[in-house]
Amino acid sequence: MNLLLLEPEDIVAPGRAIVKGRRLTHVQDVHKAEIGHTLRVGELNGLMGEAIITRLQKDVLELDFTLDTEPPSSLPVTVLLALPRPKMLKRTLQTLAAMGVKKIVLMNTYRVEKSFWQSPWLKPEAVREQLILGLEQARDTVLPEVILEKRFKPFVEDRLPEMSQGMRKLVAHPKTDELCPSDINVPTVLAIGPEGGFIPYEVERLVEYGFECVHLGPRILRVETAVPVLLSRLFH
């Protein structure tokens, strides 16, 4: 936790917050903080700054804070991710949030196992928790938007065209000769398939709607590795 993120309900008066639960435990056990110490803080979806610990007890952390710094800039990308298995989903959500992605679509594809959609890790509060962990790691305050699309075809046909209007559209797909471009730094929609990849029908639909297939070389990477590799290649 490189930034303590304050939620609206933590702020009890202007410039004063009371924090409990996981963040309190982390400040006590990991930071080993004491009264008078300063912490980096941020307001969820707001500015960042510093706080002084004014009270620290077993069940309460009180802070006086000042916010004066903009959060780091975000990446101009919407990531369409075939829903990964729950363990991978958790880590990938953290990574996406940490790297500055602000719009994430978790979508169904043929090779997504049906059971993945039943995972408790897909509940809004569980998704939000992973995103918060990513923001705390990277020192950012802006919560990404996560959209669930349980049916591939209606999503691609009915909603994707508007969502991707005016943006460059890339799909990571090993069966192409086109190496993923670097430093494009333009608004982009990036589609990443499931374990085993997209099926040809899905790639054809995406290409029909303006997507370019790009590959990352002969190595097959897990989604949690492919995500940082693709993002750091596309955006500097």
- Enumerate binding residues for a second copy (CB under 8 A): 2, 72, 95, 98-100, 137-140, 179, 182-183, 217-222, 224-225, 228-233, 236
Q: What are phi and psi of 17, to 5 degrees?
A: -135, 150
Tell me which amino acid residue 166 is.
Answer: G
Q: Which of 126, 117, 211, 216 is nearest to 163 (CA)?
A: 211
Strand ranges (DSSP E) for 70-186? 77-82, 103-107, 145-149, 168-172
Q: Minimum Å distance from CB 74 to a second copy? A: 10
Q: Is residue 23 a contact partner of residue 1, using CB atoms and an 8 Å limit?
A: yes
Give CA torsion, residues 93, 99, 100, 106, to 10 deg.
Answer: -30
Q: Which is nearer to a second copy, 25 or 232 (CB)?
A: 232
- Nearest approach, Cβ of residue 225 and a second copy (Å): 5
- Rounded to the nearest whole angstrom, what is the least distance from the CB of residue 108 to a second copy in the complex? 20
Q: Which lies closer to a second copy via its Cβ, residue 16 or residue 111? A: 111
Which C-beta is closer to a second copy: that of 152 or that of 235? 235
Single-letter amino acid, residue 64: D
Cβ closest to a second copy, residue 12 vs residue 179: 179
Report the nearest approach of a second copy to the CB of residue 148 (Å). 24
